[in-house]
Structure 1
Amino acid sequence: MKSSPPDAEPPSGDESEPLDLAERRFPWMRALMRVERVVAVVLLGLLLGLVLLQILSRYVLATPFVWTEEVARYALIWLTLLTIGLVAARRRHITARVFSRFLSPRATAALEITANAVVVVTSAVLVYVGWQFATSLATVNTPAAGISMAWIYGVSVPGFALVCFHTIVNSVIAWRHPETLRDDDAIAEGA
């Protein structure tokens, strides 16, 4: 029986985006990213369902549910804050790779790690501030749905904690494998 090397990509149902180095090497990282994707899909489905329910109740039943707009807005906030970690994990956030074509792989890695350090520090501060803000609003409820505002603002804590974690992982990969940072197709296209 033929064994695959540790860098070999395991089969996945989503062939549109190949697994990155961390996902290929660490099954727990692959599992974490899968959980993040499932949460994103569930929240997106919830958001769609709430908006459709709002349309149905307003225009078909002529008695709109007062809570659907509010809960849909908070579902969008949750979707945004819980998927920023996934975006950071895939390095799909907004970046300027102007210098990549002029720098060596090691210099590109140093630049990437420096930028990642700013992201980690900022995210860590946002985790702390988000926790403080959410706990200070624990007794305040939303007007229509009666949801504690701690649940609304508290989602920033796991969201930015995931950004911290994934950015640290990306920095370690950048240092150990600087060749993974070169995106020659994007550089050729001028991105």
Structure 2
Amino acid sequence: MQRFADVVQNILTWVCATLLAVLGALVFYQVLSRYLSWIPSFLWTEEISRGLLIWAVMLGAGLAVFEETHFRLSVMEDVAPRAFRLIGRLGSLAGGIYLVSSSLTFVQRGAGRVSQVSGLPAYWIYSALLVGGVLIVIGALLRLAGITNQAGEEA
């Protein structure tokens, strides 16, 4: 299972880095096209940038749970008993389950919609919430089972 967790972490790291690089390039192009009249302006770049940002955030949230690098009060965690850490991990699991269940509604709503600007189906953005929630649940379950290591730790 540790091998599975490592593979998922590596894939998520590369995908997030790629998404952020493409996002940066698109936003840079948008800024240039806005202020330099000789560069053509495309409407779809703003919508694609927004979608890439949503995907990067949700995949990054899943990665943070896998690596246990998400926001937490480390001062409290250092002095708190193990039971409090367990409660925090259970809270991550509960949040992930809630995100999965509520995002299903968004994906279903977006199933028939198509963006008029880019022509992409709306569910490609909404499904980021579902994928992120599933990754959070998997990461939290692996953390509860003690399978994954924190970022920088060796197995």
Task: State the partner residue of 1:155.
Answer: 128
2:52 to 50, 75, 98: 75
Partners of 2:29 and 2:4 in 1: how far apart? Answer: 37
- Say whether 1:84 aligns with 2:57: no
Q: Does 1:168 align with 2:141?
A: yes
Question: What is the alpha-carbon distance in structure 1 between the residues aligned to residue 78 and residue 94 of structure 2?
Answer: 27
Larger Rg: 1
Question: Once the two structures are aligned, what percentage of the paired residues are identical?
Answer: 24
The aligned length equals 148
Matched residue, 1:40: 16
The answer to whether 1:57 aligns with 2:30 is no
In the alignment, is residue 123 of structure 1 matched against residue 100 of structure 2?
no
TM-score, normalised to structure 1, is 0.69
The runs of 4+ residues in structure 1 deviating greater than 6 Å are none
Q: Structure 1 residue 81: deviation in Å? A: 0.8
Greater percentage in helix: 2
Higher relative contact order (CA 8 A, sep 6+): 2
SS of structure 1 residue aligned to 2:28: helix
Q: Which runs of 5+ in 2 are unaligned?
A: 151-155
CA–CA distance in structure 2, aligned partners of residues 29 and 50 of structure 1: 31
- Name the TM-score, length of structure 2 as normaliser: 0.83
Q: Kindly report the root-mean-square deviation, in angstroms, between the aligned alpha carbons of the 2 structures.
A: 2.3
In the alignment, residue 34 of structure 1 is paired with which amino acid? N
